[in-house]
Structures are given as structure tokens and as C-alpha cells.
Amino acid sequence: MNKKVVNSITLVFFIGFVLFVGYFSSFVVGVPIKDLYAALIKPSFAPPGYLFGPIWTILYILMGISAFLIWQKRDEKDINPATAIFFIQLFLNYIWSIIFFGRSSYGFALIDLIALWLSIIATIVIFRRFSKASAYLLIPYLLWVSFAGVLNFFIWRLN
């Protein structure tokens, strides 16, 4: 196979993997998250539940592209910490839904979200050393998780 085909397949793999991880956490919760979200007491600025799916899909695609760009730099020295921090933030992202929706532990979910936020910043900083584009692709994710942190805090206080 030529390099373009391999890169295309690998890009699809990275995007698919991140989408799978993101959506699998919803599956693990066992109850439709939209129903759990609808039952919460939410602050006035809480977005409607139907927005979360499209937003997360876009963010997961951007994360997959970002990881792919780092994978392309896999032969560079010191790339392993970049890869490790990416998987740490992806794991923290994965367990948030389980903690928040599956366990209804809003305070603990907020702690996880703070750790996620910090790991996203670390990922952006480390990725930027290898690929500015890969770092910039994570900015919308950081912004959304920042908003989600505020929303999580208010939901925790109201429920």
C-alpha cells in the first residue's frame, strides 16, 4: 500500500477509536443519558440535551485528527509522553460519563473534570512541540470542557 492509503486508513482508525471510546462510556452507563440529563435540575444556561451528541461527535473527530497528526511524528524523540498524556485525558473523558450519569456522583465527576481539564492543557502544551495543528485542534475541546465544568458545578449544587 502506498503512504496516502496507509495514512487515510490510519486517520480513520484514530477518529473511529476516539469516537468509540467516547460513545462506549455512554453505553456503559446503561440508561439513555438523554433521559438522565432531562431529569436533572439544571441552571438556566444549560444547553438542551440534543446538542451534546453533535458537539461531542465534532470534538471526538478533532481529537482523532489531532492524535493522528502526533502519530505521524512517531519517530521523533520524546514523542511517548505526548502519546501517554493523550490517552490519560481520553481515559478521564471516558470515566466522566460513568461517574456523572452512571453513579450520579456529581462532585466526584467535577473532580474528574478538573483533572481532565488539566490533562487537556498538558496535552495541548506537549502536542504543540510536535505539531501546532494538533494542539490547535484541541482548543475547542478545552473550551467545551471548561463550559462543562461550570455546568457540572451548578448541577452538583442544584441536585
pLDDT in tens, 69-105: 999 998 888 889 999 999 999 999 999 999 999 999 9
Answer for the pair 35, 105: CB distance below 8 angstroms, yes or no.
no
3-state secondary structure of 14: helix
Q: Quick one: average pLDDT of 116-139? A: 97
CA distance linking residue 96 with residue 98, whole number of Å: 5
Domain ranges of the chain: 3-158
Cell of 69: 497528526
Quickly list DSSP for 92-145: HHHHHHIIIIIS--HHHHHHHHHHHHHHHHHHHHHHHHH-HHHHHTTHHHHHHH
Q: What is the pLDDT of residues 32-54, one digit of tens each?
A: 888 899 999 999 999 999 999 99
Please tell me what DSSP assigns to residue 49.
G
110, HSE (Cβ side, Cα atoms, 13 Å)? 11
Q: Give the global pTM.
A: 0.94
Q: Which residue, 92, 121, 122, is CA-closest to 108?
A: 92
Element (H, E) at 82: helix 80-97
CA distance linking residue 106 with residue 156, whole number of Å: 5
> pLDDT tier at 26 (50, 70, 90 boundaries)?
confident
User: 129 or 1, which is more confident?
Assistant: 129
CA distance linking residue 109 with residue 12, whole number of Å: 30
Mean per-residue pLDDT over the chain, rounded: 95
Name residue, grid cell 440535551. 49
Q: Going by CATH, does the domain composed of 3-158 fall within 1.20.1440.230? A: no
